[in-house]
Amino acid sequence: MDWPLALAFFFAALFLLMLTGLPVFVAFLVVNLGGLLLLIGSRGFGLFANSVVDSVTTGAFAAVPLFILMGEILFRSGSVEVLFDSVDRLIGRLRGRLYLVVISLSTVFGALSGSAVAVAALLGRSALPSMTERGYSARHSAGVILAGASLAPIIPPSFLAIIVGSMAEVSIAGLLVAGIVPGLLLAALTVGWVGLSVLRDPSVAPPDRPASEAGAGSLLGALARMLPFLLIVLSVMGLIVLGIATPSESAATGVLGAIAVAAIYRRLSWAMLVEALTAATRVSAMILVIVAASRLFSQLLAFTGATRALVAWSTGLDLEPMVMLALMMLVPFVLCMFLDQVAFLLMAVPLYSPLVAALGFDPIWFWTLFLINLTLGSVTPPFGYTLFALAGAAPQLGVGQIFRASLPVILLFIAGMVVLALWPGLVTWLPASL
Amino acid sequence: MSLASGLLRALDWVSLALFALAAAGLAALVAVTSVEVLLRYAFDAPTHWAADSVGYLLAAVVMLALPEVTRRQGHVAITFLSERSPWPRAQARSLALAAGLVCLGAAWIVSEEAARQLARGVLTQGAAPIPKVWITGTVVVGFAVSGLVFLRTALAPIKGG
């Protein structure tokens, strides 16, 4: 089979199967088993069995359930509410305070859940009604939630970064740490947009009643209450940044830290721990079974010669590296409007990974941009997944209003990506110092 | 209780029992990794078994939880087209039927490999080897029980007519 035909066949089959609504892992199973039969025959089935076993025993993936469990414990213990109150109190009497609270919280929620869809749904149900009720602009409120939620796959610990790192054979610790500066940059851009909007049109953020009438003593109290929570976040990232522990090890210590934080806040109970454990087990299985089912896909592409030929063809075009980068970013931007991020990631990494090496791109820089791009596609109308999560959680807004709210977010993220593409050091200096 | 409903209930119990094992596996994953961190960094005495055990436990977490995720219809799927189908029930049943057959097919393929490993006494590679069929068998169980759960969804009677 010619490589362009093989490539088109495999991707079209996968894409169509997914669009039928078949579970993504089943779509990968069909294509991989069908591909094996077509290319090697039934004697190749042993390859499939071994690829699944290898995937589910890859130690690096252990960080995924461990980080999810850490987030579940912090969510379910109510520790996040303590943080919410403290941030709210610290920001104080500022006009547009709730915008800043939501951006801060979505950054934290994103770090804990790693899922833009989950954060958008959560804040759409909890924060959005309260904001619109107080007279905040619905469009700006939705925009801030979308922007904040979109930081989830970037702000560490991100399970997407762990999957990319493992599949593309890039330092997982490096990729996790690389998300910090871009995540903060995008959060700062969002704050800047909101600030300018409030300055231009004060009606988008009415004078707000303060969180409490308490004074400076209360501010210190707010800081003190945040301390255990911040210690856990900093200790997890600190252990990785300082190179003391691997991501899996720091995730395990993060779980113990989350239990300790819940105990400090007097929210620790067996029932909560069991709920967190079962929820984390379900979510982890849901994600990692897709990884396991898809692992053979890259080997099949390599077997057809498509991967090597595509690299040769792409590098033979002799395009400027920035043009190649733009083209390589255009594909996930478009396809992530339709496809789940994990599903697209698992399709793209086998093809992109050799291209990144052939083009001489810094892998940490490229994959960080790629992760931002995945999230950008999912907030882009008309099919962005995160948009529909927010629309489902906040039906009072209407899809049209949410679409309009997403436009400034898309522009902000594109601007952020251009900055990061032009100044790769913003992404690479922190991982380089590991 | 008819034989069919008894079998369906048994399938629920099997899914739940496997899920309980998977959750226990995740708790063990936390314990093993934390012990390794403590022994390595506090006592400079790393274990030889922790790294391998993490892989084995991860396999249990993923594959033994799979039937319960299937039972709760919790898999990632792209549904914006299927949600607009004029025959949503028929489409959902067809998809579940297809998914069930694919999972059972995958279980059968992996079971052939498991039988081969059992016959040859193949061990895992690493510092703490175990019979590889234990891991491969977990994969077989995960796919097989999930396949049956999918088929149950496809063939279940429609409630309320």
- pLDDT tens column, A373-396: 888 888 888 767 788 778 877 777
Identify the pLDDT of residue A402. 87
Q: Between these two residues, B31 and A42, which has the higher pLDDT value?
A: B31
Could you give the ipTM of this predicted complex?
0.93
- Helical packing angle, A341-359 and A159-168, nearest 10°: 40
Q: d(Cα A26, Cα A16) in Å, to the nearest integer?
A: 12
Q: Do B109 and A251 touch (CB under 8 A)?
A: no
Q: d(Cα A252, Cα B39) in Å, to the nearest integer?
A: 14
Tens digit of each residue's pLDDT (9 = 90 or more) over B62-121: 999 999 999 999 888 877 777 788 888 888 999 999 999 999 999 999 999 999 999 999
Q: d(Cα A49, Cα A56) in Å, to the nearest integer?
A: 11
Distance between alpha carbon B90 and the CA centroid of its chain, in Å?
26
Tens digit of each residue's pLDDT (9 = 90 or more) over A157-178: 788 888 888 888 888 888 888 9
Nearest to B8 by CA among B156, B161, B160, B159: B156
Identify whether the C-beta of residue B136 lies closer than 8 Å to the C-beta of residue A49. yes
**Among chain A residues, CA nearest to B77:** A23
Which residue among A23, A62, A253 places its CB closest to the CB of B29?
A: A62
Q: Which pair of tokens denotes residue A172?
A: 């997982």
Q: Which pair of tokens denotes residue B147?
A: 């396949």
Local structure of residue A212 (DSSP, 8 states) = -
Which residue among A22, A286, A383 places its CB closest to the CB of B98?
A: A22
- Closest CA–CA distance from residue B110 to any residue of chain A (Å): 5
Local structure of residue B39 (DSSP, 8 states) = I
Tens digit of each residue's pLDDT (9 = 90 or more) over A391-429: 877 777 877 888 899 999 999 999 999 999 999 999 999
Q: Which residues of A touch B126 (CB under 8 A)?
A: none
Q: Do A282 and B68 touch (CB under 8 A)?
A: yes
Identify the pLDDT of residue B160. 45
Helices (H), chain B: 3-37, 50-71, 88-120, 132-155
Q: d(Cα A62, Cα A42) in Å, to the nearest integer?
A: 32
Q: Which pair of tokens denotes residue A99?
A: 């915008």
Q: Do A69 and B26 touch (CB under 8 A)?
A: yes
Helices (H), B38-87: 50-71
Q: Do A52 and B29 touch (CB under 8 A)?
A: no
pLDDT, mean of residues A71-99:
78
Q: Is the confidence at residue A259, as pLDDT, over 90?
A: yes
Which residue among B23, B113, B142 places its CB closest to the CB of A49?
A: B113
Identify whether the C-beta of residue A235 lies closer than 8 Å to the C-beta of residue A256. no
- Burial class of residue B43 (count of CB atoms within 10 Å of its CB; 0-12, 13-18, 19+): exposed
